[in-house]
Amino acid sequence: MANFITLNLANHRLNQSAVDQGIPAEDISNDIRLSPIDDIPEEDLVNRLIRDNKDLWDQLLHNDFVEAMRIANADNQPVLNGFKWYMIQDFFYCVQLIAYNADRAAKAPNPKVYAELTNTLNNTLSQWAPNALKVCTDANKLNIPDTVVFAAKREAATEMYTKFIADVAEDENWVVSLLAQVPGIQSYFAIAHDLHDSAVDKGQ
């Protein structure tokens, strides 16, 4: 849930940035299952980036963890445990967005963008991160003890990606720092839709 909210917000920001730069706005979640290579419009930056790095994109979408979730039953404990661990890492990512957006706010090109980013900070603090934690800890959801969540170690991949977006926010301009979110958001969206459509056990 938290990352679907993030997807919508990032799409909104990317569209605003595109309009400011005189570039046609686009939906970064649109046509996530790639169109034929020759059919990708020139202005569709996200899908062109995916096309040009399709080998890496395919590795990301078809790793062992995703494939296991696709064929697992809802009572498959090893896969469920793996998903719980993934969601803990997702919570850490949401927390990292707080620092990330603070850095981006410092590079805001105008007061309007600055106000939007400070609003995002408030939303991250009051909604996104708490909602991600709620998914992990609620008894009717994943039912992970909160002590386990906060004691968990951040995976190297989580650390590397959050450091990457933080470094970009610090070193690059506002538009580039927004695009740094695209790999995580796009892959989350694509994997979620694929599992929704093709998972063996629709109840999981």
Consecutive 10-residue runs of the chain (204 residues): their mean pLDDT? 46 51 48 52 75 86 86 86 91 83 81 85 84 93 95 90 75 69 75 76 56
Q: Is 125 exposed, middle or buried (0-12, 13-18, 19+ CB in 10 A)?
A: middle
Residue keyed to tokens 């790999």: 183
CB proximity list for 27: less than 8 A, separation 6 or greater = 11, 15
Taking Cα atoms as reference points, which of 107, 92, 89, 88 lies closest to residue 167?
A: 107
pLDDT of residue 174: 61
Predicted local confidence at residue 139, as pLDDT: 94
Nearest to 104 by CA among 183, 179, 173: 173
pLDDT digits over 115-146, tens only?
888 887 888 788 888 998 999 999 999 999 99
Quote the pLDDT of residue 151. Answer: 96
